[in-house]
Structure 1
Amino acid sequence: MLREERKKELKKHIFFKSIELFKEYGYDNVTVEKIASSCGIAKGTFFNYFPKKEHVLLYLGSSQNEYLQEVVQKYKDEKIKQRLLLIFKELLSIYLENSDLLKLTLTETIRSALKDESRNINIFKETMTTLIEEAKANKTINTRFDSNTIASVLVGIYFNTLISWSVSQDESVHIVSIFERQYEVIWEGIEKDLN
């Protein structure tokens, strides 16, 4: 288990060092050799963790999917509205820890081919659909809207939040606040459907 933890830590280290280099020199000007050298590893070691430089950018999405499952379990005893809000807030708060670097990652990921990222987006949406289906089965929500449609809208506002936040020049704009305002609009529509 210790070996697996070290591998995870090294992958994270490579990711963050790469993002720092991308920020300093520009994505196109950073080579795998430069990343490996900055991390104190061999070029071959880099390729053990990332098949290509572009995969460094995709790491954020795939690592968030692992974290998503932990967060889903963490809030399993909450009512569906609060549970979904807490899940999204926790996922978004990750971006505040290294905001400059992660804004750059988001920008580069959007600029890169998002087709590779679609798998992560689908996993995210399927997880949200499952939570909504469970809430319907438990009768904690009663809506005519399809669970998949609700999940798509929630995931859509999540990514809209990330994009809005990453391009904002206003440092006072708080990522979670952006999401909460949009979330309330969506939830009000779901609740109105109950009447």
Structure 2
Amino acid sequence: MLKEERKKELKNQIFLKSIELFKEYGYENVTVEKIASSCGIAKGTFFNYFPKKEHVLLYLGNSQDDLLQDIAQKYQHLKIKQQLLNIFKELISVYLNNSDLFKLTISETIRSAFKNESTNINIFEETLTDLIENAKKNNTINTHFASGTISSVLVGIYFNTLVNWSVNNEKNESIITIFEKQFEVVWEGIE
């Protein structure tokens, strides 16, 4: 047990130091050697925890899986529409304080999804599918659309909102407001 805890602590230390270096020097200017040296570990040790530098950013996305479960649990007493909206709003809020890190994470998550290296999006969709399926069983939502299709569309507008906001974040409208508008359009078609 202690060994596993130490491994987890070291992985988190590598992650936090990497993020610190990315912020200070820019993602492209930070090498695995620089990360390892800053952590006081060998380059090979870095690769024991992260197969590539890009996986440090994916780790941030992976850590969101646990957050997603916690958020879903927190709002389980609400009607499905409000439950889903609150889940998305909390996930979006995680990125609001650091738009540069956000842009890197989103671009790497999307790139890895196309390479089939990441299951984050699949886990996200599966979690939402389960929530929607439960709402159907409890008759709190009445729709003829498949739960998986609904969750896929909702995840799609989530990422669309994040990507558009990261590219055009000089707009006066908040990212949550943008998402809520798109969510409402889609939800109207679901119910």
TM-score range for the pair, normalised by the shorter chain length: 0.7 to 0.9
Query: Is the CA contact 1:19–1:104 (under 8 Å) kept in the aligned structure 2?
Result: no
What residue is the counterpart of 1:158 in the other structure?
A: 158
What stretches of structure 1 of length at least 5 have no aligned partner? none
TM-score (norm 2): 0.85
The amino acid of 1:35's aligned partner reads I
SS in 2 for 1:97: coil
Counting matched residue pairs gives 191
Give the Cα–Cα distance (whole angstroms) in 2 for the partners of residues 136 and 91 of structure 1. 24
Give the Cα–Cα distance (whole angstroms) in 2 for the partners of residues 35 and 49 of structure 1. 12
Give the Cα–Cα distance (whole angstroms) in 2 for the partners of residues 173 and 144 of structure 1. 33
Give the Cα–Cα distance (whole angstroms) in 1 for the partners of residues 188 and 140 of structure 2. 15
Mark the CA change 1:110 to 1:137 in structure 2 (over 3 Å): closer, same or farther. closer
Mark the CA change 1:94 to 1:11 in structure 2 (over 3 Å): closer, same or farther. farther
What stretches of structure 2 of length at least 5 have no aligned partner? none
Q: Tell me whether 1:64 sits opposite 2:48 in the alignment.
A: no
User: What value does the CA root-mean-square deviation take over the aligned residues?
Assistant: 2.5
- 1:124-159 Cα offsets, whole Å, 9 max, x none, are 111111111100100001011111111111000111
Q: Tell me whether 1:94 sits opposite 2:94 in the alignment.
A: yes
TM-score (norm 1): 0.83
Mark the CA change 1:109 to 1:134 in structure 2 (over 3 Å): closer, same or farther. closer
The amino acid of 1:105's aligned partner reads T
Structure 1 stretches of 4+ with a deviation exceeding 6 A read: none
Q: Tell me whether 1:123 sits opposite 2:127 in the alignment.
A: no
What residue is the counterpart of 2:190 in the other structure?
A: 190
What residue is the counterpart of 1:136 in the other structure?
A: 136
How big is the shift at 1:30? 2.2
Aligned-residue identity in percent: 74
Report the more deviating stretch, 30-39 or 171-180. 171-180
- 1:76-95 Cα offsets, whole Å, 9 max, x none, are 11110110011111111111
What residue is the counterpart of 1:79 in the other structure?
A: 79
Give the Cα–Cα distance (whole angstroms) in 1 for the partners of residues 56 and 8 of structure 2. 14
